[in-house]
Amino acid sequence: MAEDVKVPEDWDTSNLGKLASFINGYAFKPEDWKEDGLPIVRIEQLKDPNAKYDYSDKKLPDIYLIDNGDLIFSWSATLAIKLWDRGKAYLNQHLYKVIPNSTIEKRFLKYLLEHKIEDLSKEAHGSTMKHITRSFLLNFRVTYPKSKLEQRKIAEILETIDNAIEKTDKIIEKYKRIKQGLMQDLLTKGIDENGQIRSEETHRFKDSPLGRIPEEWEVVELGKLCILITKGTTPTTYGFNFTSSGIKFLKVESIDEEGNIIENQLAFIDEITHKYLRRSQLKENDLLFSIAGAIGRVFVVNKKILPANINQNLALIRLKENVNINTKFLYYFLKSKFIEKHIQKIMVQLAQSNISLNDVSHFKIPVPPLEEQKRIASILSQIDETIEKEQAYKEKLERIKQGLMEDLLTGRVRVDHLIEGGKVDGSGTSQRKPSETCK
Distance CA 185, CA 198 (A): 9
If you count DSSP H runs as helices and E runs as strands, how many of each does the chain have, helices first? 11, 21
Within the chain, all domains assigned CATH 3.90.220.20 are found at 11-145, 218-367
Phi, psi of 273 (to 5 degrees): -65, -45
Q: What is the pTM of this model?
A: 0.81
Residue 81 corresponds to which amino acid? I
Three-state secondary structure of 111-128: HHHHHCHHHHHCCCECCC
Cα torsion 246, 248, 251, 256: sign:
positive
**What is the model's pLDDT at position 402?**
95
If phi over 0 gives left and psi between -120 and 50 gives alpha, with beta otherwise, what is residue 69?
left
**What is the model's pLDDT at position 434?**
31
Distance CA 101, CA 140 (A): 16
Q: Residue 339 burial by CB count (10 A; 0-12/13-18/19+): exposed, middle or buried? A: buried
- Helix or strand holding residue 389 (H, E): helix 370-408
Q: Report pLDDT digits (tens) over 280-339.
A: 999 999 999 999 989 999 999 999 999 999 999 999 999 999 899 999 999 999 999 999
DSSP 235-280: GGGGT---BSSSEEEE-GGGB-TTS-B-GGG-EEE-HHHHHHTGGG
Residue 97 DSSP one-character state: E
- Helix or strand holding residue 369 (H, E): none
Q: Residue 46 burial by CB count (10 A; 0-12/13-18/19+): exposed, middle or buried? A: buried
The answer to whether 214 and 205 have CB atoms below 8 angstroms apart is yes
| Superfamily covering domain 11-145 | DNA methylase specificity domains (3.90.220.20)
Residue 71 DSSP one-character state: E
Residue 81: partners with Cβ closer than 8 Å, 6 or more residues away: 71, 72, 73, 74, 110, 113, 114, 117
Distance CA 281, CA 307 (A): 8
Distance CA 418, CA 31 (A): 53
Helices 148-186 and 106-115, interaxial angle, to 10°?
A: 70
Query: Which positions of the chain have pLDDT values less than 70?
Result: 1-5, 125-129, 420-439
Q: Report pLDDT digits (tens) over 237-293.
A: 999 999 999 999 999 999 998 899 999 999 999 999 999 999 999 999 999 999 998
**What is the model's pLDDT at position 399?**
96
Distance CA 210, CA 336 (A): 12
**What is the model's pLDDT at position 123?**
77
**What is the model's pLDDT at position 418?**
73
Determine the distance from the C-alpha atom of residue 325 to the mean position of all C-alpha atoms in its chain, rounded to a whole number: 32
Query: How is domain 218-367 classified at the architecture level of CATH?
Result: Alpha-Beta Complex (3.90)
Distance CA 297, CA 255 (A): 7
Residue 225 DSSP one-character state: G
**What is the model's pLDDT at position 420?**
60
